[in-house]
Chain A
Amino acid sequence: MGENTNIEKVNSFERQKNREEMKRQFILFASMIIFTILAFLLVAWDMDRTYVIPIIIVLAVIQVAFQFFYFMHMKDKGHEFVSILIYGGAWIAFVMAICFTTIIWW
């Protein structure tokens, strides 16, 4: 009997955690959609380019971060190596983008 209650306890703990995780996923999913709508609206509103472009880039960075950390579970344990690879890849892509914008198409 003792064992069973233990398992039930673990189960209820797991369930609690899962429920919170699910809640978070929903909130993030909704915020992702809102961010996307926001980006489209900014363009539709005919605002000044100098404001629109940086805002859209910031929104994009936030969305990519949500994607990686929550939907692709990079925040969870056991993803250290994946994180290193993704940071490495992001760094290389960043260097390439800097190169193209500064010394090719300046």
Chain B
Amino acid sequence: MSLASAQKKGFGAILWDYLTTVDHKKIGVMYIAAGAFFFILGGIESLVIRVQLMVPENDFVSAGLYNEMITMHGTTMIFFAAMPILLGFMNVAVPLQIGARDVAFPFLNALGFWLFLFGGILLNLSWIFGAPDAGWTAYPPLSTQSPGHGTDFYVMALQLSGAGTLMGGINFIVTIVTMRAPGMTYMRMPLFSWTTFVTSILILFAFPAFTVALFLLMFDRMFDSAFFDIALGGNAVIWQHLFWIFAHPEVYILILPAFGIFSEIFSVFSKKRLFGYTSMVFATFLIAFLGFMVWAHHMFTVGLGSVANAIFAVGTMAIAVPTGIKIFNWLATMWGGSIRISTAMLWALAFIPSFTIGGMTGVMLGAATADYQYHDTYFVVAHFHYVLVGGVVFGIMAGLHYWWPLMFRRVLNETLGKLAFWLFFIGFHLTFFIQHFLGLMGMPRRYWVFLEDQGLDLGNLVSTIGAFFMAAGAIVFVINIIYTAVKGEKAPQDPWNGRTLEWAVPSPTPFYNFKQLPLVRGLDPLWIEKMEGNGKLTAAEPLNDIHMPNGSIIPFVMTVGFFIASLGFIYQYEYPIAYLALYGGMAIGIGGMIVRSLKDDHGYYVRKEELEGEVE
């Protein structure tokens, strides 16, 4: 492939390029685009929920549809919006930040993306064939007895995308362990790379538990096993344990990358090195470690016994310590810094108080005795939206503004960005702050309607108004994207006066990232070169041929195969003809694996002569 051929291409060629790409930057952008699409779907679902709860005894949607809405909203937002967008950032930024030319397993990376995308499509297909309605937690016996195929779609979709995420996690662990540039020691890695690394470890350890739980549920629903059937000697609580052994680390899988993004942004826009870098790394690990020993705080009211509850309550409160370390480190990073309040920084600034409120209510919920009052009320809903929106969504928005120039060569408009921020920020607090009090007044979670004159009317109305503010903020952000794309002003190569390696590569980033791998002299390598060198990174190697992986359509074909097989699994116990899809899809998927295993693909070289012709 010649370097010049990347110019003018037809639509078909571009489509083929994206279907076969193994380039981490393109995969990252696809992750973010697909995640944004599912984010919009999840957002629409949330608006439906809020409209239904706007007035007492509303009948905007039926009770069944409402159950489907809350289930799909939770599942979509966690698995198909927040996670892929964060994985997208990891793909875009991490190889550049650690000075690598690509990820360790480019093929696996592509496969992971397609599995996630088809998992998302499969889940949303259920809107046509009957959506899951057992809540995103899918507790049996509700999920095992849920009629129709909704929960089957939930099981197969999460199994597909979970496999993809697991691949992504393994890929990033290996990439960060083995592919750091010369001089990039572990303790010189930017914090986003660190949190990506720890997140990947969490993915590696947490997802298998969920895979097992989903298999048990799948066998109970499709093949008449009785893992969760008490009448036949099963135990429904096993699902809750397995689910939360996975799903509690899952919330750290979501929040840790956001912490990494904020760490980058605070440091860059305060023009200071991150305060307490070592303690930040330590705190990240501590959060990950403790995160595996607290899952039962979601199950205080199950009846585990007071000893188990006490242990898990103490563990939960212990997590506030490393998180507190992080909050104070960010504050100290800004202290005495030369602060620029750009849109990215604005989201980061708003994150601190918002997330701290969420953390505080988290400690309240972690107190097992008090939890008997809060459990399954809107207090819980308020709490986790404060951490997930105030933490993760703010982090995603900050990251989008921060890395947009790196991904698309455009700087997002600051005025529109700030307008979107204020709409969203006000809307967010309007929506969720009052839900704390609704919960304390006794409004239960997941209820379709509430009665009037119980002190819940005004609070719910305010909450719904807030939701529309958030929607307006999201719309302004979309307008911002279109506006900057149409305006077409090229972004400078280093628009934020960056400190890390991703701002040292030419713009647009060449597909091989670094012509010569850079020599890293310390933490914030680009900043060191700006202060002590000539602003450019010294090469760590002579100009040489670059080995790059070949693109491949096999990940896409394999995924399509498994997607068809999933549909076959869902319908096989009703229509025997679905076995055709089951076996056919599996044949395609496994055929792809065989082809991949037997066909040697050693990649190709970008020749030295070609590289010399390129101007920086």
Contact = CB atoms under 8 A, between A and B. Distances in A.
Contact of A104 (B205, B235, B292): B235
Contacts of A89: 204-205
16 contacts: A85-B173, A85-B201, A88-B201, A89-B205, A95-B292, A96-B245, A99-B241, A100-B238, A100-B241, A103-B304, A103-B305, A103-B308, A104-B235, A104-B237, A104-B238, A104-B241
B241 A88 contact: no
A91 B241 CA distance: 17
Contacts of A81: 177
Contacts of B177: 81
Interface in A55-106: 81, 85, 88-89, 91-92, 95-96, 99-100, 102-105
Interface in A28-71: none
Nearest to B303: A103
A23 to B, nearest CB: 31
A105 B201 CA distance: 29
Nearest to B288: A88
Contacts of B238: 100, 104
A100 to B, nearest CB: 7
Contacts of A88: 201, 205, 289
Classify chain A: how many residues form its interface, as a range: 10 to 19
Contacts of A104: 235, 237-238, 241
A92 B292 contact: yes
A57 to B, nearest CB: 22
Majority-rule SS of A interface residues: helix
B205 A92 contact: yes
Q: Which 5 A-B pairs have the closest CB atoms?
A: A103-B308, A103-B304, A92-B292, A92-B205, A81-B177
Contacts of A102: 308
Nearest to B245: A96
B242 to A, nearest CB: 9
B33 interface: no
Given A103-B296, A103-B308, A104-B235, 13 more contacts: A85-B204, A88-B205, A88-B289, A89-B204, A91-B292, A96-B209, A99-B241, A99-B245, A99-B296, A100-B241, A103-B305, A104-B237, A104-B241
Interface of A: 81, 85, 88-89, 91-92, 95-96, 99-100, 102-105
Interface in B277-318: 289, 292-293, 296, 304-305, 308
A100 B201 CA distance: 23
Contacts, number: 31
Interface in B154-193: 173, 177
A95 to B, nearest CB: 6
Contacts of B235: 104-105
A4 B362 CA distance: 68
B218 to A, nearest CB: 20
A31 B298 CA distance: 45
A84 to B, nearest CB: 9
Contacts of B173: 85
Interface string B231-254: 000010110010001000000000
A100 B227 CA distance: 14
Nearest to A106: B305
Given A85-B201, A103-B304, A103-B308, A95 B293 contact: yes
A46 B25 CA distance: 62
Contacts of A91: 292
Nearest to B289: A88
A92 B438 CA distance: 37
Contacts of A103: 296, 304-305, 308
A101 to B, nearest CB: 12
A102 to B, nearest CB: 8
A99 B205 CA distance: 16
A105 B233 CA distance: 12
Contacts of B293: 95
A100 B173 CA distance: 29
A104 B296 CA distance: 12
